[in-house]
């Protein structure tokens, strides 16, 4: 168990405890063997304490293999009277879909089961970390502390090393994918965005001088 995980692990219950009980990949793990879980969340806004998590999508990646059979997608049920409001124009989920969604604890539990023994992979991972950690604290007694690979940070470091400093939307996932010759996907579906992030990570792996988890970890 990781040293920095000790306090959350002692307080964690249910699926979060099971996550903390599983051994995490060592920083020296070769990327050819590294198990990751590409994750994306859709929300009603940018602030975890003020806005609501509405969907989670994930896709396992092991080495260079994307495991679509292990992919998952959940819509989280809104509380009584909840409305997605203007955020529907971003994530395209309706109030009816949210009303039919999964219980929050159950949904986050499914995600944690998929994450067990893996490194979290995301694009601008602070968003996923913030919302998912707060959800874990609310439902399972402790925040989520997990080793993370962030394709946003990888690309920013790469551009800075090349003397090309990011401006405007240069680091948006769609713009990054275009620079690597990857196809265009519709944005803001959590499962599609998780797959897009997984593919971008593999493109980074193929083109950058990175060999172990330590080389890519945020």
Spatial separation of the C-alpha atoms in residues 124 and 150, rounded to whole Å: 6
- Whether domain 34-210 has CATH 3.30.420.10: the reply is yes
Give me the pLDDT at residue 180, please: 97
The H or E element that residue 35 is part of is strand 35-43
SS3 assignment, position 185: coil
∠217-168-191 over CA atoms, to 5°?
A: 55
Report residue 3's pLDDT band, with 50, 70 and 90 as the boundaries.
Answer: very low
Measuring CA to CA, which residue among 82, 83, 143 is closest to residue 108?
143
Give me the pLDDT at residue 116, please: 98
* Mean confidence (pLDDT) of the chain: 93
Helices (H), the chain: 6-11, 14-21, 88-91, 95-99, 104-115, 125-140, 151-161, 173-179, 190-207, 213-216
How many CB atoms neighbour CB 88 within 10 A? 16
182's CB contacts (< 8 A; 6+ apart) are 196, 199, 200, 203
SS3 assignment, position 192: helix
47-104: pLDDT as tens digits? 999 999 999 999 999 999 999 999 999 999 987 667 777 786 677 788 888 889 999 9
- Percentage of the chain beyond pLDDT 90 is 82
Answering whether pTM is above 0.85, one says yes
Spatial separation of the C-alpha atoms in residues 143 and 24, rounded to whole Å: 16
SS3 assignment, position 166: coil
* Sign of the C-alpha dihedral computed for residues 173, 68, 25 and 28 taken in this order: negative
216's CB contacts (< 8 A; 6+ apart) are 31, 149, 154, 204, 210
Give me the pLDDT at residue 79, please: 72
pLDDT at 6 over 80: no
State the average pLDDT over residues 157-186.
Answer: 94
Listed by start position, the domains of the chain span: 34-210
């Amino acid at each position: 168990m990781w040293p920095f995980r000790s306090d959350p692990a002692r307080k964690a219950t249910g699926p979060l405890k099971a996550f903390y009980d599983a051994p995490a990949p060592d920083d020296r793990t070769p990327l050819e063997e590294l198990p990751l879980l590409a994750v994306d969340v859709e929300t009603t806004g940018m602030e975890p304490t003020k806005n609501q998590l509405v969907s989670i999508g994930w896709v396992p990646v092991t080495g260079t293999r994307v495991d679509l059979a292990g992919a998952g997608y959940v819509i989280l049920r809104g509380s009584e009277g909840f409305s997605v409001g203007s955020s529907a124009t971003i994530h395209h989920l309706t109030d009816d879909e949210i009303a039919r969604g999964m219980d929050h604890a159950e949904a986050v539990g499914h995600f944690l089961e998929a994450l067990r023994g893996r490194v979290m992979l995301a694009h601008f991972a602070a968003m996923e970390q913030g919302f998912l950690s707060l959800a874990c604290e609310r439902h399972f007694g402790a925040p989520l502390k997990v080793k993370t690979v962030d394709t946003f940070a990888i690309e920013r470091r790469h551009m800075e090393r090349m003397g090309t400093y990011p401006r405007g939307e240069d680091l948006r996932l769609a713009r990054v994918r275009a620079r690597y010759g990857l196809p265009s996907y519709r944005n803001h579906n959590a499962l599609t965005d998780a797959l897009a992030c997984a593919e971008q990570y593999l493109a980074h792996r193929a083109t950058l001088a990175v060999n172990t988890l330590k080389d890519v970890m945020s």
